[in-house]
């Protein structure tokens, strides 16, 4: 592909940054195994309506000893009933009870405070409603997950627990969860992740101004480190001007602002309107300076404006100033050393002719041949890889943390130099990865800004997810059902 994971500078999309559960974290609720990924709390739900979970709703249907992984119910199983309908799809009481039991078990393993059971039940049901509405949207959009992706996710969870897939399945059954249900949950979580990536990526664009503001805010850089270049139109106000004359001149400055924001060339506006004595020499350009070399009035007026942003008119003793931000630059950043990796990969893209499962099997065969000394990684990459790096033998060059998509980076980080991964499924396709080298290096200012870009993008993804999820939930028809009497 033309934009391989290394060349695609999107930083890694962890569950924490998007406000959604990452694949492994989400499945903490589905299995009773302590994973290495940090657990995420359940979000409080909003209003559930008059017939929601209070009194005779789900709370009334909950037994004091829910089915759990540690103790099977000894009495007869309670008759199931529907507690909610989401766009005509039901959620049953037993489904919520099972999810609630797994959630309680996971919270107990974390050692955190356990919320009241009726509160946790409401949160679990609300989360199930949100996920079901999103799953319906994904299916309507034609997003699919084949068995190869599920196999890969299952292997990832087993690896995180340092056990085999067969041992993972044995423990699941021992804990009262069928392998089929576990894999169905996995498939749903992958489907949700793909939907969310598709929906949220366009909403997380990061500008250079975003980076500047983040650095200044989070790293405490002072004004002496930051530089800015402004252009100015000055509408001069004579000393002792009458109020009517001041109002006329202010209106003139406001006209400059309006026309500049409408896209008119600022240099032409300088020549037409500015009363600054040096306007003909520099076309209003005040030059790139540190913030402390600009009047505080100007700095305050353009605070938060992006490049090419235009201020409202600001009044000084000389008159009304209209300012345009031509450039912003952050000064020197603190030295930062990171561990970089150099890897190469073979990418196969699933298609109508090649399923994910078939691509996974083919790459597993490549791996077997390479490890046995029967084939060369670079040669196979040049011949078969469907990535722009193929001509370089799959070499992706030196990259720092966060420059690969999470599935790729997680697999690569587990490798020692020279090792080859099992096939890895990502949004780009299926990869076979070999780690070539690692090194500790001091980042350049550009590389540091790339890291900051990733952090800002994560923040934007989190914000975008919140609004998007609320919109999906708001558009869903949700009916809460009372339990049978």
Using DSSP, state whether 347 is helix, strand or coil: strand
369-391 per-residue burial string, b: 16 or more CB within 10 A, e: under 16:
ebeeeebebbebbbebbbbebbe
Tell me whether strands 478-480 and 82-86 are parallel, antiparallel or unpaired. Answer: antiparallel
Output phi, psi for 366, to 5 deg.
Answer: -60, -45
Closest C-alpha among 225, 83, 195, 93 to residue 134:
195
Q: Which pLDDT belongs to residue 404?
A: 86
Q: Which pLDDT belongs to residue 333?
A: 57
Q: Which pLDDT belongs to residue 11?
A: 28
Token pair for 101: 């039991």
Q: Which pLDDT belongs to residue 68?
A: 36
Matching residue, tokens 């405070």: 113
Q: Which pLDDT belongs to residue 266?
A: 92
**Residue 66 · residue 97 · CB < 8 Å:** yes
Q: Which pLDDT belongs to residue 225?
A: 61
DSSP calls for 426-447: ETTEEEEEEEEEEEEEEPPHHH
pLDDT along the chain (485 residues), means of 10: 35 26 32 28 28 36 36 52 92 90 80 80 90 92 88 81 85 86 90 87 81 68 68 90 93 95 92 80 82 84 87 92 87 69 94 88 95 96 93 92 84 94 89 94 78 80 84 90 82
Q: Which pLDDT belongs to residue 51?
A: 32
Q: Which residues contact 17 (CB under 8 A, 6 or more apart)?
A: 458, 459, 461, 462
CA distance 53 to 61: 9
Check residue 316 and give left, alpha or beta (phi > 0: left; psi -120 to 50: alpha). beta
Token pair for 33: 């195994």
CA distance 107 to 119: 14
Q: Which pLDDT belongs to residue 53?
A: 38
Output phi, psi for 326, to 5 deg.
Answer: -85, -30
Largest Cα separation within the chain, whole Å, is 93
CA distance 197 to 461: 9
CA distance 345 to 343: 7
């Amino acid at each position: 592909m033309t934009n391989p994971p290394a060349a695609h500078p999107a930083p890694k999309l962890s569950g924490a940054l998007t406000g959604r559960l990452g694949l492994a974290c989400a499945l903490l609720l589905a299995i009773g195994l302590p994973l290495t990924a940090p657990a995420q709390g359940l979000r409080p739900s909003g209003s559930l309506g008059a017939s929601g979970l209070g009194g005779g709703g789900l709370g009334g249907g909950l037994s004091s000893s829910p089915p759990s992984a540690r103790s099977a119910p000894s009495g007869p199983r309670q008759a199931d009933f529907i507690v909610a309908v989401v766009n005509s799809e039901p959620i049953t009481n037993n489904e919520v009870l099972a999810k609630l039991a797994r959630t309680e078990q996971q919270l107990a393993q974390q050692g955190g405070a356990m919320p009241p059971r009726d509160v946790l039940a409401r949160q679990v049901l609300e989360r199930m409603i949100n996920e079901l509405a999103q799953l319906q949207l994904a299916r309507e959009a034609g997003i699919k997950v084949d068995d190869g992706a599920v196999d890969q996710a299952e292997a990832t969870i087993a690896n995180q627990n340092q056990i085999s897939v067969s041992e993972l399945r044995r423990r699941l059954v021992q804990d009262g969860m069928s392998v089929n249900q576990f894999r169905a949950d996995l498939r749903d979580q992958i489907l949700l992740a793909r939907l969310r990536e598709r929906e949220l990526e366009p909403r997380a664009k990061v500008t250079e101004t975003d980076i500047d503001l983040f650095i200044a805010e989070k790293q405490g850089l002072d004004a002496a480190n930051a530089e800015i270049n402004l252009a100015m139109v000055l509408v001069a106000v004579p000393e002792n001007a009458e109020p009517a004359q001041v109002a006329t001149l202010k209106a003139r400055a406001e006209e400059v602002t309006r026309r500049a924001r409408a896209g008119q060339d600022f240099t032409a506006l300088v020549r037409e309107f500015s009363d600054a004595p040096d306007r003909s020499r520099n076309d209003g350009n005040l030059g790139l300076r540190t913030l402390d070399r600009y009047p505080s009035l100007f700095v305050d007026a353009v605070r938060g404006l992006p490049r090419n942003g235009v201020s409202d008119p600001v009044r000084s003793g000389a008159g009304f100033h209209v300012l345009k931000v031509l450039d912003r630059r952050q000064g020197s950043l603190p030295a930062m050393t990171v561990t970089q990796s150099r890897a190469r990969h073979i990418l196969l893209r699933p298609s109508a002719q090649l399923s994910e499962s078939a691509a996974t099997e083919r790459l597993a065969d490549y791996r077997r041949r390479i490890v046995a000394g029967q084939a060369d990684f670079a040669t196979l990459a040049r011949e078969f890889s469907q990535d722009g790096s193929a001509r370089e033998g799959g070499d992706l060059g030196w990259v720092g943390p966060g420059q690969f998509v999470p599935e790729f980076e997680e697999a690569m980080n587990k490798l020692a130099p020279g090792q080859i991964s099992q096939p890895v499924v990502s949004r780009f396709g299926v990869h076979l990865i070999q780690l070539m080298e690692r090194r500790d290096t001091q980042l350049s200012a550009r590389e540091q800004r790339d890291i900051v870009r990733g952090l800002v993008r994560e923040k934007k993804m989190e914000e975008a997810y919140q609004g998007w999820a609320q919109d999906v939930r708001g558009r869903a028809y949700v009916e809460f059902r009372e339990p049978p009497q």
